[in-house]
């Protein structure tokens, strides 16, 4: 059902099973999948693709041009994956040509009120951003990450799988997978053990990750020394391999 006060460009591709509320504006070159609900007073600007079964609440701004000085009006896009919930006053900007041309929100994300996702960011599957969490440009958030309220994350930072960032944190370096980080500036506070258990991680895997965490972050080794020691002393289960790979590929440095 589309409310008669909604303004929809004829060049928008809206599935017949989409609900659009009063006074919302949908621009050209927007695609919205089946089962998605767009609340009242939402603005969805051009070059946005929204997957099926999403719910976008009132006053959200989706697909506005980037807040980037180098952006010169080039045609870039925003994609939002299936089943994502976008709460009130969320703002998500399109990508930039110099940043790859795409901002991408993954499947089954929960973006709480006043979240901001800037240009060229990418979030994985089942990511939670609590109220007022802010992503600067070019940030990568991997699967199953939870980011607390009032968190600010610096440009080009990566956050690894299953990490948890506590509220009111300022994140300026990469956050490894499977950990808890918090503070200004953010520091590590151990494994995200509760979250990992909830996601079905076995006790054996948790023990190996705990041993790996200790070697990397608690006994004063350099990262290169820690990598060699982990390879020599810890069983190379996929989670340990992923943690090593993440750390070795860091460009901004690792939060410790």
Contact between 209 and 243 under an 8 Å Cβ cutoff? The reply is: yes
Residues 6+ apart with CB under 8 A from 107: 51, 81, 82, 83, 84, 125, 126
Instruction: Name residue, tokens 């006060």.
Output: 5
Sheet holding 19-20, edge to edge: 19-20, 37-38, 55-56, 85-86, 110-111, 128-129, 146-147, 164-165, 179-182, 187-191
Sheet holding 48-50, edge to edge: 13-14, 30-32, 48-50, 77-80, 102-105, 122-123, 140-141, 158-159
Residue 137 falls in the annotated catalytic set: yes
Q: Which of 81, 106, 137, 148 is catalytic?
A: 137
Distance CA 225, CA 229 (A): 6
Q: Indicate the SS3 state at residue 185.
A: coil
Q: Which of 51, 119, 148, 160 is catalytic?
A: 119
Q: Which of 21, 81, 99, 120 is catalytic?
A: 120
Report cis status (omega within 30 of 0) of the bond before 185.
Answer: yes
Distance CA 24, CA 35 (A): 17
Q: Which residues pair with 141 in a beta bridge?
A: 123, 159
Task: Tell me which residues are annotated as active site.
Answer: 119-120, 137
């Amino acid at each position: 059902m589309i409310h008669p006060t909604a303004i929809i460009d004829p060049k928008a591709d809206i599935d017949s099973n989409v609900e659009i509320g009063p006074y919302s504006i949908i621009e050209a070159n927007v695609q919205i999948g089946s089962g998605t609900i767009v609340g009242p007073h939402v603005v969805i600007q051009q070059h946005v693709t929204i997957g099926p079964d999403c719910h976008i609440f009132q006053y959200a701004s989706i697909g506005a041009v980037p807040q980037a000085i180098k952006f010169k009006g080039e045609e870039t896009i925003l994609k939002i994956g299936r089943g994502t919930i976008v709460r009130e006053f969320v703002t998500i900007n399109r990508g930039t040509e110099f940043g790859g041309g795409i901002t991408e929100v993954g499947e089954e994300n929960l973006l709480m009120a006043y979240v901001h996702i800037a240009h060229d960011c990418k979030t994985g599957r089942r990511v939670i951003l609590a109220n007022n969490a802010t992503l600067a440009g070019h940030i990568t958030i991997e699967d199953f990450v939870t980011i607390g309220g009032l968190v600010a994350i610096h440009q080009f930072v990566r956050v690894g799988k299953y990490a948890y960032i506590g509220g009111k944190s300022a994140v300026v370096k990469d956050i490894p997978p499977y950990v808890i980080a918090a503070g200004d500036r953010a520091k590590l506070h151990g494994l995200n053990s509760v979250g990992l258990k909830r996601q079905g991680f076995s006790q054996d895997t948790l023990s190996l990750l705990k041993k790996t965490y200790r070697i990397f972050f608690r006994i004063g080794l350099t990262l290169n020394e820690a990598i060699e020691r982990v390879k020599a002393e810890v069983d190379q289960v996929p989670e340990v391999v992923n943690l090593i790979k993440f750390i070795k590929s860091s460009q901004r440095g690792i939060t410790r």
